[in-house]
């Protein structure tokens, strides 16, 4: 039995994000408030851009699932609603000139952060459901099926890396013991409080580790895998897709490892550079190897 495609819900969420991008650009133009060292509307803008790309890509995937179950339709629509609700809350906090994430300084801010947490949990659970749906489905295009499955696994890794940001830092725990309170719980930055110097546009820390790098990398691997699927010759599609997925997963782990060690993304130490060189060598060897070493026949 055919059911209504989940494409509609996710596409609608993507369109909302495009409108939100315009709102955030207006905010940047007319509201010059600075929050934790960055323009108040820069973070909502980044979320709007990233989420719009995510929604449209997920809509493309969902529209290619077999139309024989309502479960992925429901899951993807829950995901779309949760993402829209989250961006509304982020914009609201920017309009209030305060932080959206990790902010429990007042009862209202704590309620906002808890609501965002519920929304994030719904997105994660929906993604898990869609991942199972993709692995259980059979696709006419086997290569595209594997792009979807592997992309969703990488997305889940990126989502779970975001959980690390919600944990209280040692500095916050020490301040809580001294002051009997913790207005901020969690941080993007490893080794220093949020709010230091950051890269243009992304605001990723230039002096310390930043967990947002791995979160971003995990969230957007699906676009690279789709590009590999589109560009690869038919006889090499599966091999290239698995190679790119493995390489991208390794890159995700490397940037997460680098951040957890307190290193800014643009200033790795010798050990990190050596790891990246090894990653590049292995990836290049796998891509250029003449004979296929991996065959996957399951659709």
Query: What local confidence, expressed as pLDDT, does residue 171 receive?
Result: 84
Could you tell me the pTM of the whole model? Answer: 0.89
Tell me what the mean pLDDT of segment 83-89 comes to: 96
Poorest-pLDDT segment among 120-134, 139-153, 180-194: 180-194
Band the pLDDT of 96: cuts 50, 70, 90.
very high
pLDDT exceeds 60 at position 3: no
DSSP 181-242: --SB---SEESS-TTS-B-TTT--BSSSEETHHHHHHHHTHHHHHHHHHHHS-GGGHHHHHH
Residue 291's SS3 state is coil
Burial class (CB in 10 A: 0-12, 13-18, 19+), 179: exposed
Query: What local confidence, expressed as pLDDT, does residue 292 receive?
Result: 52
State the Cα–Cα distance between residues 128 and 245, nearest whole angstrom.
Answer: 18
Query: What local confidence, expressed as pLDDT, does residue 93 receive?
Result: 96
How many other CB atoms sit within 10 Å of the CB of residue 274? 11
Query: What local confidence, expressed as pLDDT, does residue 293 receive?
Result: 47
Query: What local confidence, expressed as pLDDT, does residue 2 receive?
Result: 40
Q: What tokens appear for 124 in the block?
A: 């994660």
Look at strands 189-190 and 209-210 and give their pairing: antiparallel
């Amino acid at each position: 039995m055919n059911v209504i495609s989940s494409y509609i819900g996710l596409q609608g969420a993507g369109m909302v994000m495009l409108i939100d991008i315009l709102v955030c650009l207006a905010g940047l133009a007319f509201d010059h408030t600075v929050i934790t060292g960055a323009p108040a509307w820069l973070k909502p803008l980044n979320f709007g851009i990233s989420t719009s790309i995510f929604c449209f890509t997920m809509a493309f995937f969902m529209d290619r699932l077999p139309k024989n179950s309502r479960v992925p339709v429901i899951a993807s629509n829950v995901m779309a609603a949760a993402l829209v609700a989250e961006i509304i809350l982020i914009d609201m906090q920017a309009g209030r000139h305060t932080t959206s994430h990790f902010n429990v300084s007042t009862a209202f801010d704590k309620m906002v952060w808890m609501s965002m947490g519920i929304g994030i949990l719904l997105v994660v659970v929906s993604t898990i459901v869609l991942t199972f749906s993709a692995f259980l489905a059979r696709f006419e295009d086997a290569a595209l099926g594997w792009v979807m499955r592997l992309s969703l696994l990488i997305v889940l890794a990126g989502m779970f890396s975001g959980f690390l940001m919600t944990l209280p830092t040692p500095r916050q725990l020490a301040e809580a013991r001294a002051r009997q309170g913790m207005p901020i719980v969690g941080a993007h930055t490893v080794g220093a409080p949020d709010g230091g110097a950051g890269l243009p546009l992304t605001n990723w820390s230039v002096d310390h580790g930043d967990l947002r790098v791995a979160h971003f990398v995990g969230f957007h691997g699906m676009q690279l895998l789709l590009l590999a699927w589109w560009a690869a010759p038919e006889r090499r599609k599966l091999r290239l897709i698995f190679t790119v997925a493995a390489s991208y997963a390794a890159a995700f782990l490397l940037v997460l490892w680098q951040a957890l060690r307190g290193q800014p993304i643009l200033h790795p130490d010798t050990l990190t550079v050596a790891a990246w060189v090894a990653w590049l060598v292995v990836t290049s060897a796998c891509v250029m190897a003449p004979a296929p070493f991996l065959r996957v026949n399951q659709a």
